[in-house]
Structure 1
């Protein structure tokens, strides 16, 4: 008789899968690469390093987003909420592949701290999910709102001549805004201001570390 996995067993299995994914090259994205056919003009070495740093932040952010949604899905009580979270996680996987491909084009590499962020973000996702499905969806909404804001900031920093990076970030922003709207439509509860502030503080730490390492 096959033993039913406990919640802890499932969590450890999911973390193991996530760490393996974070450490390995991303698979080909499930949908078209937004930068395909876009211009990529010559740039200075300083510009290349800066753009690569921004893309590295986004790559790490996608690892963290997948972990959040996997953690939330693990403890979701309603099947349709779990399905929503897992679908969002799959789309973040597409974003991860886009960012990794762009880093390769820029002769750079993903952050070395990605696996650590997966573990930490998975734990945060579980905590958010245990608060209840409405709060969990509210966490999705706020996460996506903050991600869309930082993508807008990155777009403002990337030169118009780098149409490849801009196309990727613009499509990612559109997808994140859609995820947030879907979470609100599904009944997401607005989070308290102190939780939003804590989320911003954690995101700032991730950005600083991923840009440099």
Structure 2
């Protein structure tokens, strides 16, 4: 039955618009991948903080979450600008990251301030490591736009600040901290790998 459904799909619906096509041999393949993945990551982070604000926005931690959220919105806007500038195909998984990000943010916030901060620490630790790896990769490339490296460095430093704020606000005292952060980190790493290729 699945085969019949696949055969009956409107093939034109599966065609990637020409302006978003990428080829493996193109010199900018690494840059395309980085912009696509980072856009997806900042989109997801925006949604995580939106979920946390929905639950904790009117509590004592609300202003701090909002401060971090505003930075994530800025990061997202910058990568949307880079997507358009470099004509990079965004990941097709954005609708999933929209729902998953909000659910993760709201779900962690339902555990209270410490649960929300544990989520922040878990996510940001993966992102900082991810950005560091991208910087190393880009520095090896010839003819790379160094403004992109500078943008990633700036955003990495802000993500590190979010991580440190999470620790400061009691993340490590959250119930099941070790298990919770490991599951969230695994989810983040999986999302990164999927966003590279889909």
Q: CA deviation at 1:109?
A: 3.0
Distance 1:77 1:164 in 2: 34
Q: CA deviation at 1:160?
A: 6.4
- Aligned with 2:189: secondary structure? helix
Match of residue 124 from structure 1:
104
Match of 1:208 among 179, 193, 196: 193
Q: 5+ residue gaps in structure 1?
A: 1-43
Match of 2:128 among 148, 152, 155: 148
Distance 1:178 1:203 in 2: 18
Q: Is the 8 A contact 1:74 1:82 kept in 2?
A: no
Aligned residues: 170
Match of residue 166 from structure 1:
149
Q: 5+ residue gaps in structure 2?
A: 1-23
Match of 1:195 among 177, 180, 185: 180
Q: CA deviation at 1:131?
A: 0.7
Match of residue 69 from structure 1:
49
RMSD: 2.1
Q: CA deviation at 1:202?
A: 1.2
Q: CA deviation at 1:74?
A: 1.4
Distance 1:138 1:194 in 2: 10
Larger Rg: 2
Distance 1:201 1:99 in 2: 23
Structure-1-length-normalised TM-score: 0.72
Q: Is the 8 A contact 2:122 2:185 kept in 1?
A: no
Distance 2:85 2:28 in 1: 10
Deviation larger for 176-185 or 153-162: 153-162
Q: CA deviation at 1:200?
A: 2.4
Q: Is the 8 A contact 1:66 1:92 kept in 2?
A: yes
Deviation larger for 54-63 or 203-212: 203-212
Q: Is the 8 A contact 2:55 2:110 kept in 1?
A: yes
Q: Give the ranges of 4+ consecutive aligned residues of structure 1 lying more than 6 Å apart after TM superposition.
A: none
Q: Is the 8 A contact 1:62 1:92 kept in 2?
A: yes
Quick one: structure 1 residues 121 and 93, their matched pair in 2 at CA, closer, same or farther if it must change by over 3 Å? same
